[in-house]
Amino acid sequence: MKEVNFVHKFIINSNGIPFSDQEHDGSIEVDIGDNSIYLSGDKNGLLALACKIIEVANCDLTGYHKHLDEIEMPNVNIRPENIELNIGKSKD
């Protein structure tokens, strides 16, 4: 059995919004079917996505969301390019 530790540092600004303290790279691919959405990517791309999910989950603002694009994840290639990938937080 392999044990994996995932440690990542986040900085929370004065508005209660967490940000990753490191730049991410890698790639993510989105495939949308009739009844499913399939996310795949290399290790760094998937870890970048995981970090953004953790950021949204730890934000203190209800309804907060991240639009994952070239500004939010500048070194992560999201394919196909015409897909908008958003992660949002509903009420706690």
Asked, for residue 3, whether it belongs to a domain, the answer is no
Domain of 76?
10-88
Provide the whole-model pTM: 0.78
What is the per-residue pLDDT across 28-73, written as a single tens digit (0 to 9) for each? 999 999 999 999 999 889 988 888 888 888 888 888 888 888 778 8
DSSP codes joined into one string, the chain: ---------EEE-TTS-EEESS--EEEEEEEE-SS-EEEEE-HHHHHHHHHHHHHHHT-SSTT-EEEESTTTSTEEEEESTT--EEEE----
What is the per-residue pLDDT across 16-30, written as a single tens digit (0 to 9) for each? 777 777 788 899 999
Name the pLDDT band for 92 (thresholds 50, 70, 90): low
Number of domain units in the chain: 1
